Amino acid sequence: MSAQSPSPARPPRPSSPVRTALRRTLVIGAVVPLALTTLFTGSAFAHGSTVDPASRNYGCWERWGDDFQNPDMATEDPMCWQAWQADSTAMWNWNGLYRENVGGDHRGAIPDGQLCSAGRTGGDRYAALDEPGPWHTTPVQNDFTVTVHDQALHGADYIRVFVTEQGFDPTTQRPAWDDLELLADTGTIPPGEGSPSDGESLNGVSIDIDVSAPGRTGHHIVYMIWQASHYDQVFYACSDVSFPQA
């Protein structure tokens, strides 16, 4: 399934530094203070997520964070639209989708159908991320790279990357554990290891993970589990991708 893309008639968006400034202005004027705590107060409150292919809430923030009240989103990016309407803090807090004290029992902590919200962590804040539909997809090849951003230099006991099995349809189905195939497991990553980023919205390190997903075509979900090494704190993310058609 092809990615949902902005209308060709829409004027270009500002460059990244300007967009960052606009985001700050909009957050201050229109979003609850909690968003400021997560995005702009430094590494003590920062965590991370999958940034490429973008997780559902990070992608919605990247595409619409400087324009989140634009009604064009409803037709150009309908799944982001419903997510912004359900709870805008899910996007402003794209780096805070985690659970604590899971003890490695991810299946026990997160029910089928709620993988993208990490079992409704934080109440209903991230619930809209579980909704099936035409989510914006990132085109990838069957051999591709997943980039996870570690804002606070937590490091990892492991990062695991899964891809839905061929035949799964993210436009009509919520992923269950049995829909996923484990395709990468990094093992231990020391705190601070990765490629540094000086972007104001990131300010940490990015970790690249090579993934091979043979036999996939069309729209799939890439599911990431990142067990941080500093504490029993686990980050989860759903990213939508489109593999080449056979």
With 90 as the cut, is the pLDDT of residue 3 above it?
Answer: no
Question: 156, 150 in Cβ contact below 8 A?
Answer: yes
Question: From CA 174, how far away is CA 42, in angstroms rounded?
Answer: 34
pLDDT tens for 167-226 read 999 999 999 999 999 999 999 999 999 999 877 678 899 999 999 999 999 999 999 999
- Tokens, residue 87: 């709870």
Tell me what pLDDT residue 15 has.
39
Q: Round the average pLDDT of the chain to a whole number and report it.
A: 85
The mean pLDDT of 144-156, rounded to a whole number, is 95
Give the type of residue at 226: W
Neighbours of 77 (CB within 10 A): 24
Tell me what pLDDT residue 46 has.
58
Q: Please state which CATH number belongs to domain 16-243.
A: 2.70.50.50
Q: Is 232 helix (H, G, I), strand (E, B) or coil?
A: coil
Tell me what pLDDT residue 183 has.
98
Q: Classify strands 156-164 and 218-228 as parallel, antiparallel or unpaired.
A: antiparallel
- The least confident of 32-46, 101-115, 134-148 is 32-46
Burial of 148 (0-12, 13-18, 19+ CB in 10 A): buried
* % of the chain at pLDDT higher than 70: 80
- The least confident of 36-50, 89-103, 133-147, 223-237 is 36-50
The DSSP secondary-structure symbol of 45 reads: G
Question: From CA 23, how far away is CA 30, in angstroms rounded?
Answer: 10
